[in-house]
Structure 1
Amino acid sequence: MGKCLLVPASSSQGTTGARGVELRDEELEKLLEKKARELMRKSKGGSGEVVVKRVGAGSRNGIYVYDRERGVWRLYRVEGGAFQLGELGDGVYVVYFGNTRCKACRSYDEYWHPFVETVGRELEGYHFVIVLCDWFTHRCSSPAASASFREHRVLASPTTLLAYVVGGKTVYQEKYEGVLTRDELEKVVPSFRERGERAQRGEKVESPLREKLARDDIVKLLEKMLGIRLM
């Protein structure tokens, strides 16, 4: 499965093609803002809360948290600092970093959302989160989402970060770059709490999808094995 990689934006200016892209970007941003305003007007009790059934290409940049009781995604934060593992309480965090302009993310959506709505919804003590930008930190109208990409060193999308948090501290985590299929999600997510508990006890833990671990997770494993710092 593919993934979108962070690359520097082109520095060329003044070409017809570049101006055309900029115009489409402006139009897209206006459409996204219009959609966000519509959601605000329709929000529960006029409280200003924004909720969506699914987060996707037309969603506002920001940090979303899954509300298992209502079966919706709640726009948790747009402004402010990076999302911190543990800020929703202890437990398992499953965080999907995505971009509205990433085709691989749209493929991942087809697996992610049905999984969260069925299997994920029944997992007690699990926090499902989406961090969404247009294109990493280069184009992101949400300071909180942009900061989250930097904080967790996300350089590819989709990226799925899992963390086991106890006492406000992360005791074990796994990070996967690229699309995870429904079968892969079912292999990785429900069993993650057990791996986290084993890691907390100091036992040896291995990811069921070691070949899909993000590079920085692989480096951390090598550092632990070799007793040296590689990054």
Structure 2
Amino acid sequence: MEDRDLFIGILRRLLKAEEKPGPGKAQPGLEVEQVDVDSPHGIYKYSRDKGRWILEWVDEDDFTQRLEPGNYVVYFDNAKCPACRVYDVYWYPFVKLIGDTYPCTYMIALCNWFSRDCNSNAASRAFEKFDVHASPTTLIMTVDSEKRVARSRKIEGVKRMDELAKAIEEFLSPKA
């Protein structure tokens, strides 16, 4: 019964996204409990202090130039993506419950449908820069002191919390 209810809920959210035109542009600083199909497009960063997602970048060409050195986990989310709605079931609890375990900053790049249907230059360019053509896609990356992506790993498809944790651990572990 739980699977059926989950499936119906996902279908309702998808239908809601299909009925409406994409959201308009919002100003950076918008805070939301969860980024969803009705959220303005852009790049959101999770604030551990507030327990909320903050819209950081909307119009920038390359958001990575604004990042501090460190590790980042970026979820490339499409509002019209059925698999993304399934991934949400794992992603949000992971970030809130387990995310602090890792020295990473969590982010979401949201568009309607990849870079082709997006009201945010920053998110659209991020999809292009990291060559994202499947959704959901999770990117784990390290940004160096010169604001360059020093290394990254792209993971396509829905990942459960344990699979996401394993991918992050493997990325962060020193190479043998």
TM-score (norm 2): 0.81
Is residue 2:16 matched to residue 1:64? no
| Residue pair 1:82, 1:146 contacting (<8 A) in 2 also | no
Which residue of structure 1 lines up, in the alignment, with residue 143 of structure 2? 165
Query: What is aligned with 2:121?
Result: 143
* Residue equivalent to 2:20: 28
CA gap 1:49/1:172 in 2 versus in 1, 3 angstroms: closer
**Structure 2 contact 67–143 (Cα < 8 Å) conserved:** no
Between the aligned partners of 1:173 and 1:139, the Cα distance in structure 2 is: 25
User: Shift of the alpha carbon at 1:29?
Assistant: 2.7
Bigger Rg over Cα = 1
What is the aligned-residue RMSD (CA, Å)?
Answer: 2.2
Q: Distance in 1 between matches of 2:150 and 2:77?
A: 24
* Paired residue type of 1:119: I
Structure 2 unaligned regions, length at least 5? 1-16
Higher relative contact order (CA 8 A, sep 6+): 2
Q: Aligned residue for 2:54? A: 74
Deviations 1:19-52 (A, max 9, x none): xxxxx96x6137x34xx87xx8xxxxxxx73100
Cα distance change of structure 1 residues 160 and 127 upon mapping to structure 2, 3 Å threshold: same
Identity %: 39
Structure-2 residue corresponding to 1:87: 66
Q: Would you say the 8 A contact 1:164–1:193 is kept in 2?
A: no
Which one of the candidate residues 86, 110, 117 is aligned to 1:132? 110
Q: Secondary structure at the match of 1:157?
A: coil
- Secondary structure of 1:64 counterpart: strand
Instruction: Provide the C-alpha distance between the structure 1 equivalents of 2:57 and 2:141, rounded to a whole number of angstroms.
Output: 20
CA 1:169–1:78 in structure 2 vs 1: closer, same or farther (change >3 Å)? closer
Show CA shifts across 1:193-231 (max 9, x none).
Answer: 224xx3xxxx5xxxxxxxxxxxxxxxxxxxxxxxxxxxx
Residue number in structure 1 paired with 2:3: none
How many residue pairs get aligned? The number is 159
Contiguous gaps of at least 5 residues in structure 1: 1-23, 41-47, 204-231
Q: CA distance change for structure 1 residues 171 and 147 in 2, over 3 Å: closer, same or farther?
A: closer
SS in 2 for 1:119: helix
Q: Show the 5 A alignment for 1:1-231.
A: 28-29=20-21, 32-33=23-24, 49-84=29-64, 87-124=66-103, 126-167=104-145, 168-195=147-174, 198=175, 203=176
Question: Quick one: structure 1 residues 103 and 63, their matched pair in 2 at CA, closer, same or farther if it must change by over 3 Å?
Answer: same
Q: Distance in 1 between matches of 2:60 and 2:143?
A: 22
Q: Secondary structure at the residue paired with 1:192?
A: helix
TM-score, with normalisation over the residues of structure 1? 0.63
